[in-house]
Structure 1
Amino acid sequence: MKYALFLGCTVPVRALNYELSARKVAHKLGIELVDINDFSCCGFPVKSVDRDTFLLMAAKNLSLAEEKDLDLVSLCSACTSILTEANKELKEEESLRKKINNKLSVLGRKYEGKIKVKHFTRVLYEDVGLEKIRENLKVDLSKFSFAAHYGCHYLKPSGIYEDFDDVENPKTLDELIEVTGAKSVLYEDKNSCCGGGILGINEMTALKVAKNKLDHIKSTKADAICLICPFCSIMYEGSQKKIEKQFEVEYNLPVLYYPQILGLALGISPEELGFKLNRIKPREMLAKL
């Protein structure tokens, strides 16, 4: 299994623990992640402002992976959504493809629609598979329980993801958690947004949205939140102290990326998985190991 790794803008700056743990897990499971230095922003920030520019930015990145004859894998749910949407539109609409390629030609590039785009979590679930993951487990995590947060862009809009999972009742992240031996807890409003989509417009509303979910997760007594998107982490981990101060509450709730959890089960050390980079230290959880 070999993929072009698309890191996007947020992961290299604010989620190095996500990148570290994903690379370690990939290596352990026989996934080769190829870095392409010329990758740039996926186009997400300008999608609502200029559709042609968003498609052009996405097409440029897709063409770089095509040049290497590699499917593209992303750690960021928003990047995955944008690149998948652009890939689908450009494959299906010849006139649009010609228009974008005309602009791409200035860079000496051409989009041909030869590759697929997948979230890293989907690669683990579909391409590696639960059985192979199970065969490689070294540490039993049955002492732990985690609250899965799917976020918005991992499965939506469902049309671009070929109905990979049920958007109303998703299961893939829960199953990936439970294959490690850990429990995936149920909680109220499990499928709701983290609030990150409006953080730059109305911070207080965004914090209230995140607080609502933190309240529900805290009541389950889960060891940590498990998520798969760097921007969701900004809301639940990066903003957790701000929420505690603003609303006079206390959570001290660790937020882990799924590859960190899987990495522990595969026998990779917390140091190698970037646990020191987690803002809310999961000391009590790691002590159980």
Structure 2
Amino acid sequence: MMKYALFLGCTIQRRVRQYELSSRAVLKKLGVKSVTLKQFNCCGYPLRNSDFKMFVLLGARNLAIAEKRGLHLMTLCKCCYGSLKKVNDLLKNDPSLLNETNAILAKEQLAYTGNAEVTHLLSVLHKDVGLEAIKEKVKVKFKDLNIATHYGCHALRPSEITQFDNAADPVLFDQLVEVTGARSIEWPLKLECCGAPLTGVNDELSMDLMGKKISSATQAGAHFLCVGCPWCYVQFDSVQVKMSLKRGINNQLPGILYPQLLGLAMGIGGNMLGLDKNQIELTSIKNFLAIDSQEGQKQ
């Protein structure tokens, strides 16, 4: 059985609980064990540009905790993923920084030696579980469903650190979507920022960026936006609701978390996937589910 230390970060537990629920449900079906380590702290992302040493220490502590348990670290959040990948790279390539950090960690009987790797849920599904293994667990495929995938910035850049996919022409997320029977469409603003980093700093600009993305995906024929990051999801879900009210926009494009999309195709119930927690209702997505008799005979 594949086993990972599941790193939830801060946002998921407070604002996007459905991401955790749906991820755990899908991983369990696929035989992947997700271990909860309560000692984990913030990934350090908020301090990256204000207190570099603390940013490194917070990330290193998480890595040391996972390493102590002999586990690799799996994130759901792309910001956490990018931050922890960066810290891991820094510590592996800067012996003086590693020694300085370990001197502080020693106060908690912790040390990091570089043996913990950082991965993301989508990478685990695509590279470790594999598309064929996922296909075997799909019970009900989607039909005539167009999905616009939003990769998120911190998974793709800087590519030499994240090593998630080809930053200029990624396919990993699209292939995962198409396992469900849905069609992953091409759309012009696919790799652009969703605007989430600006929310609370410059709300108008944040909504402008998101509005352009929603318009681009809608014009390309998308029925839903699919994401694999809580920050991006909040932007397309709750912030889109606020934008609609503030700007009088009636045509919303619902966002769906990838494990929710996959979970429905695997026959997992909506309650277990936390569909009721999405602010923009996903009721209509079930209209695209169609039982394929031939696939059903193979199961």
Query: TM-score when scaled to structure 2?
Result: 0.93
Please state if 1:255 is matched with 2:255.
yes
For 1:135, the aligned partner's letter is E
Contact 1:198 1:206 in 2 (8 A): yes
* Residue 246 of structure 1: how far off its partner (Å): 3.1
- Contact 1:142–1:181 (Cα < 8 Å) also in 2: yes
1:124-164 alpha-carbon deviations (Å, 9 max, x no partner): 010011111112211111232211001101121101123x4
Contact 2:241 2:280 survives alignment (8 Å) = no
Shift of 1:251: 2.3
Tell me which amino acid in the other structure corresponds to 1:28: K
Unaligned runs of 5+ in 2: 290-299
What is the aligned partner in structure 1 of residue 180 from structure 2? 180
* 2:152 partner SS: coil
Offset at 1:91? 1.2
| Runs of 4+ more than 4 Å apart | none
| Distance in structure 1 (CA, Å) of the matches to 2:109 and 2:204 | 45
Matches of 1:187 and 1:247, distance apart in 2: 24
Deviation at 1:42, TM superposition (A): 0.5
Q: Secondary structure at the match of 1:176?
A: helix
In 2: Cα distance, 1:32 partner to 1:43 partner: 25
Q: CA deviation at 1:265?
A: 1.2
**Letter of the aligned partner of 1:238 in structure 2?**
S
Pick which of 25-34 and 165-174 moved more: 165-174
Gaps of 5+ in 1: none
Please give the secondary structure, in 2, of the residue aligned with 1:153. helix
One-letter amino acid matched to 2:127: E
Are 1:218 and 1:251, in contact at CA under 8 Å, matched by a contact in 2?
Answer: no
Contact 2:139 2:265 in 1 (8 A): yes
Whether the aligned pair in 2 keeps the contact of 1:146 and 1:225 (CA below 8 Å) is yes
Distance in 1 of aligned mates of 2:180 and 2:190: 21
Question: What is aligned with 1:141?
Answer: 142
Instruction: Tell me the equivalent position of 2:165.
Output: 165
Q: Deviations over 1:13-47 (max 9, x none)?
A: 11111111100000000100000011110000001
- Does the 8 Å CA contact 2:66/2:73 hold for their aligned counterparts? yes
Return the TM-score normalized by structure 1.
0.96
Residue 29 in structure 1 maps to residue 30 in structure 2: yes
- The Cα shift of 1:123 comes to 0.5
Once the two structures are superposed, the pairs formed by residues 1-289 of structure 1 within 5 Å of their partners are 1-162=2-163, 164-289=164-289
Q: Deviations over 1:61-94 (max 9, x none)?
A: 1111001100000000000111111011101111
C-alpha RMSD of the superposition = 1.2
The 10-residue stretch of structure 1 (45-54 or 278-287) with the greater mean CA deviation from structure 2:
278-287
Of 234-243 and 175-184, deviating more is: 234-243
Task: Please report how far the alpha carbon of residue 222 of structure 1 lies from its aligned counterpart in structure 2 after TM superposition.
Answer: 2.1
Once the two structures are aligned, what percentage of the paired residues are identical? 39
1:165 counterpart letter in structure 2 = D
Instruction: Report the residue type matching 1:113 in the other structure.
Output: G
Asked if structure 1 preserves the Cα contact closer than 8 Å seen for 2:6 and 2:37, the reply is yes
Deviation at 1:281, TM superposition (A): 0.6
Greater CA deviation, 264-273 or 60-69?
A: 264-273
Please tell me the residue identity of whatever aligns with 1:142: K
Give the letter aligned to residue 177 of structure 2: I
Distance 1:17 1:214 in 2: 22
47-56 or 196-205, which deviates more: 196-205
How far 1:168 moved relative to its partner? 1.2
Aligned length: 288
Q: Matched residues in 2 for 1:159 and 1:14: separation?
A: 31
What do residues 138-196 of structure 1 show as CA deviations (whole Å, max 9, x unaligned)?
A: 1111232211001101121101123x411111111011001111101111211100011
- Tell me the SS of whatever aligns to 1:147: strand
- Give the Cα separation in 2 of the matches to 1:58 and 1:52: 10
SS of residue in 1 equivalent to 2:43 = coil
How far apart are the structure 1 equivalents of 2:162 and 2:232?
20
Q: Would you say the 8 A contact 2:142–2:288 is kept in 1?
A: no
Q: CA deviation at 1:106?
A: 2.2
SS at match of 1:26: helix
Question: Do the aligned partners of 1:254 and 1:282 also contact (CA within 8 Å) in 2?
Answer: yes
